[in-house]
Amino acid sequence: MAKELTPRAENYSQWYNDLVIKADLAENSSVRGAMVIKPYGFAIWEKMQSVLDSMFKETGHENAYFPLFIPKSFFSKEASHVEGFAKECAVVTHYRLKNDPDGKGIVVDEDAKLEEELIVRPTSEAIIWDTYRNWIQSYRDLPLLINQWANVVRWEMRTRLFLRTTEFLWQEGHTAHATKDEAIEEAELILNVYTDFAEKWMGVPVLKGLKSPNERFAGAVDTYCIEGLMQDGKALQCGTSHFLGQNFAKAFDVKFVTKENTQEFVWATSWGVSTRLMGALVMSHSDDNGLVLPPKLAPIQVVIVPIFRKPEQLQAISEKVEGIMKELKGRGISVKFDDRDTYKPGYKFAEWELKGVPVRFAIGPRDLENNTVEVARRDTLEKEILQLENIGEKVEHLLEKIQESIYQKALDFRDENSFKADSWDEFKALIDKGGFVYAHWDGSAETEQKIKDETRATIRLIPLNGKMENGRCILTGSPSRQRVVFAKAY
């Protein structure tokens, strides 16, 4: 089963695609570019949602729901937003079908043409700020801290499961504030929430920073982001948090009366992470045998495989397993007993390895005699025999250890693949090798574009609180005061 995966070294991209499909995370649908998220994949996404949702609520945010459709004219209101966003979109033009007069199925009813086309939301700033206009009158109505979990559609030409699909699931926060400082603070707060989630839950170390103007969100004053480094040396943007200034407030005329009784435009942020995180999770930790899931996000943390020849052996093992499962569940550990009699242990081992279950127990007649269990770690593939006494506590510690170890491994990988380049030749060589390349840049969009054209590398971010250091732009030699991070990216 696991053998069917293309090895990473042979074709990383094929390995990723194989893995997503064979581990039952997702698959392509009959609708071009749209995926089906399968139950096992969705269970991981649900865990992500649940953790993130708690983090948002703990920081004072509430959920709400805004319409899927946005009137076309709304997109024209914020000038740079329309440039960046309203182009590759699904457009609803009609609201009725009818029977084909020739009797061949159904056709669009041309009498049911909308006066104004509706755009399937690619992001919801426009419809939300149109709504906020009625919600915000006074400083008492601020801050407004709202998040929505939703599906969005962007008509991508080249799609890849989780990483880039025409429809994807995400959360989008949209907040309104009385002051600029407060809005910036909010954007940074969320960046820290995202960082904590990526590192502590997904086990994916991320760099934090600001996007260069070329890479900024259409309509933002500043875009904060977190970037992870995948095993093939390419960067993956894992989340963004935008300080929108007063751009949307001005476009949608959202003013408030201050304490001093003056009228001012509201300050805004928006921020989101999406099912793309599933791609980051897969690509950060998994190996040629399949998924490696961080215990905190694994739908099944421990799988128990019985080793038996005769039904009475299975019976005896099952009785023992019942007690073990009770003990593990009592500690909040999710555990599955794979007692299928249609598959052999070897097949089951490969299947659960493919699906990334962090810990596997194998338990046979001899274990019953010795009160032991064979415990295998998915991340290192190491096995050991453990006494069953206090097994709950032992597994709890092991899961914590695996969680840390997965993160540390990814962090070590990133460290080994982070480089400084001080000349153009050095830069080109390092970018070809893959990884994050810290280099000086003269700050101009033109230079950024030239570097991209020549190397396919983009500025992933300008580090936050990065070390100030005088240097010269690797391309133009113009002076620079800080290194920025370049990489090829997804």
Task: Kindly list the residues in this chain that would bind a second copy in the complex (CB under 8 A).
Answer: 27, 29-31, 34-39, 42-43, 45-46, 62-76, 82, 86-98, 105-106, 108, 117-120, 127, 130-131, 134, 140, 146, 150-151, 153, 155, 167, 169, 342
Nearer to a second copy, 155 or 490 (CB): 155
**Smallest distance from a second copy to CB 435, Å:** 34
Nearer to a second copy, 65 or 347 (CB): 65
**Smallest distance from a second copy to CB 122, Å:** 10
> Cα–Cα–Cα angle for 227, 472, 210, nearest 5°?
25
Task: Answer for the pair 146, 135: CB distance below 8 angstroms, yes or no.
Answer: no
**Smallest distance from a second copy to CB 14, Å:** 20
Position 455, amino acid: T
Burial 238-247 (b: 16+ CB within 10 A, else e): bbbbbbbbbb
**Smallest distance from a second copy to CB 70, Å:** 7
Q: Where are the beta strands (DSSP E) in 196-323?
A: 207-210, 222-229, 235-245, 255-257, 263-265, 267-274, 302-306
User: Any residues with CB less than 8 A from the CB of 243 and at least 6 apart, and which?
Assistant: 183, 184, 187, 220, 221, 222, 223, 224, 269
**Smallest distance from a second copy to CB 315, Å:** 23
**Smallest distance from a second copy to CB 124, Å:** 11
| Structure token digits, residue 174 | 């949209």
Q: Which long-range contacts (CB under 8 A, 24 or more apart) does 326-329 make?
A: 327/391, 327/392, 328/302, 328/391, 328/392, 328/395
Report how far residue 217's alpha carbon sits from residue 268's, in angstroms, rounded to the nearest whole number: 13
Nearer to a second copy, 150 or 474 (CB): 150
| Structure token digits, residue 425 | 């030749």
Task: Answer for the pair 294, 403: CB distance below 8 angstroms, yes or no.
Answer: yes
Nearer to a second copy, 45 or 436 (CB): 45
Nearer to a second copy, 37 or 220 (CB): 37
For CA atoms 65, 69, 72, 75, give the dihedral sign. positive
| Structure token digits, residue 464 | 């936050």
User: Any residues with CB less than 8 A from the CB of 380 and at least 6 apart, and which?
Assistant: 405
Nearer to a second copy, 248 or 361 (CB): 248
Nearest to residue 290, comparing CAs of 16, 36, 41, 26? 16
Nearest to residue 41, comparing CAs of 281, 391, 339, 334? 281
Nearer to a second copy, 43 or 368 (CB): 43
Residue 121 DSSP symbol: P
| Structure token digits, residue 208 | 């934090």
Q: Where are the beta strands (DSSP E) in 254-323?
A: 255-257, 263-265, 267-274, 302-306
CA dihedral 300, 301, 305, 311 (to 10 degrees): -60
**Smallest distance from a second copy to CB 71, Å:** 6
**Smallest distance from a second copy to CB 340, Å:** 9
Nearest to residue 271, comparing CAs of 314, 224, 317? 224
In terms of DSSP H, where are the helices of 290-438? 311-330, 345-354, 365-370, 391-416, 424-433
**Smallest distance from a second copy to CB 63, Å:** 5
**Smallest distance from a second copy to CB 146, Å:** 6
Nearer to a second copy, 38 or 250 (CB): 38
**Smallest distance from a second copy to CB 153, Å:** 7
Nearer to a second copy, 88 or 400 (CB): 88
Nearer to a second copy, 86 or 207 (CB): 86
Nearer to a second copy, 62 or 412 (CB): 62
Report how far residue 196's alpha carbon sits from residue 54's, in angstroms, rounded to the nearest whole number: 13
**Smallest distance from a second copy to CB 47, Å:** 11
Nearer to a second copy, 62 or 400 (CB): 62
